């Protein structure tokens, strides 16, 4: 099985489009998101699953995108993979709760990138093993389903443990940082920005969007600002000039190896 690399591209924004909505499927590719996700799962009624597969197949038309399939180890998911597996950049796999779930999808979609969504208590408890699986390319966070499963609110504090678990599991498995879940209030720009900034501070990179108007804010939050890039360059210049010894910037800021590594990571992310 092909190993998924830790340096795989990390989109800032992932924009969903319901697979049964022909109008939105056409618009999702031009909305400015780094990645389009054509959805066959929660947004599509059971009675329209077959029609959604057909519309999604037509909408892809050679364009790069991800498809969110239905829950692994179900006939519906198997039909999704049979219809679309060879046409997509990757599959977002919902409600992943075990390594067996990942293996089941990977066996039916060999060589395809798998974004494994953690959105249940069982998924959180198994996240280290899921992230470590060669078949798992990256993790994403399903905040709404997890909150429902736990009987909790979907706020930053209430789901902090689970969010941190995804970040730590991703890093320990040398996978990209996980992407954050959706923000459901489509007119609350301040709330969206607050949640995205909190996710980035915690170690997430990227966030899912439900509407094109959310995309510019998400892209801005997950774009490294020029002043941060300038700081990283000054740190590395000072560290290299010192021959790798601990030193200080002209403003008195202390610089040693961990600070230099942080600066290198900032520049890698900016690129």
Give the pLDDT confidence score for residue 1 in this predicted structure.
31
How far apart, in whole angstroms, are the C-alpha atoms of residue 40 and residue 22?
Answer: 13
Q: Helix, strand or coil for residue 180?
A: strand
* Model pLDDT for residues 63-72, shown as the tens digit of each residue: 999 999 999 9
How far apart, in whole angstroms, are the C-alpha atoms of residue 20 and residue 17?
Answer: 9
Residue 269 has pLDDT above 90, yes or no: no
- CATH superfamily, domain 13-221, is Phosphoenolpyruvate-binding domains (3.20.20.60)
Instruction: Provide DSSP, 25-60.
Output: HHHGGGSS-SEEEEE-STTS-GGGHHHHHHHHHHHH
Residue 4 has pLDDT above 50, yes or no: no
Residue 199 has pLDDT above 70, yes or no: yes
* Model pLDDT for residues 64-102, shown as the tens digit of each residue: 999 999 999 999 999 999 999 889 999 999 999 999 999
Contacts of 19 (CB under 8 A, 6+ apart): 25, 38, 39, 40, 43, 44, 52, 53, 55, 56, 67
- Beta strand 247-248 with 254-255 is antiparallel
For the chain, give every domain's residue range. 13-221, 226-270
Q: How does the average pLDDT of the chain come out, rounded? A: 93
CB-based contact 201:176 (threshold 8 Å): no
Give the pLDDT confidence score for residue 32 in this predicted structure.
96
Give the pLDDT confidence score for residue 256 in this predicted structure.
87
* pLDDT average, residue stretch 142-151: 97
Residue with tokens 């736990």: 150
This prediction's pTM: 0.87
Residue 114 has a CB neighbour count (10 Å cut-off) of 22
Residue with tokens 């039909």: 79
* Model pLDDT for residues 10-53, shown as the tens digit of each residue: 899 999 999 999 999 999 999 999 999 999 999 999 999 999 99
Give the pLDDT confidence score for residue 35 in this predicted structure.
97
Q: Helix, strand or coil for residue 3?
A: coil
Closest to 27 measured CA to CA, from 17, 19, 41: 17
Residue with tokens 């067996």: 100
Give the pLDDT confidence score for residue 237 in this predicted structure.
86
* pLDDT average, residue stretch 140-155: 96
């Amino acid at each position: 099985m092909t190993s998924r690399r830790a340096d795989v591209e990390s989109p800032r924004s992932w924009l969903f489009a319901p697979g049964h909505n022909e109008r939105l499927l056409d618009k999702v590719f031009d909305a400015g998101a780094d990645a389009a996700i054509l959805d066959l799962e929660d947004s599509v009624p059971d009675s329209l699953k077959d029609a959604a597969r057909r519309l999604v197949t037509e909408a892809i038309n050679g364009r790069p995108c991800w498809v969110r399939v239905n829950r692994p180890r179900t006939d519906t998911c198997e039909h999704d993979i049979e219809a679309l597996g060879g046409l997509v950049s990757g599959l977002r796999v919902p409600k992943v709760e075990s390594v067996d779930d990942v293996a089941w999808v990977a066996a039916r979609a060999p060589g395809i990138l798998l974004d494994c969504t953690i959105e249940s208590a069982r998924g959180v408890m198994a996240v280290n093993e899921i992230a470590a699986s060669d078949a798992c390319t990256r993790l994403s966070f399903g905040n709404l389903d997890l909150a429902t499963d736990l009987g909790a609110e979907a706020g930053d504090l209430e789901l902090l443990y689970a969010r941190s678990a995804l970040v730590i599991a991703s890093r320990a498995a040398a996978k990209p940082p996980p992407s954050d879940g959706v923000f459901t209030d489509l007119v609350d720009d301040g709330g969206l920005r607050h949640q995205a900034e909190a996710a980035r501070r915690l170690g997430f990179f990227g966030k899912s969007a439900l509407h094109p108007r959310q995309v510019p804010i998400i892209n801005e939050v997950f774009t490294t600002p020029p002043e941060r890039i300038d700081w990283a360059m000054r740190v590395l210049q000072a560290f290299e000039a010192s021959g790798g010894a601990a030193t200080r910037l002209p403003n008195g800021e202390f610089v040693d190896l961990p600070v230099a590594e942080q600066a290198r990571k900032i520049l890698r992310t900016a690129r």
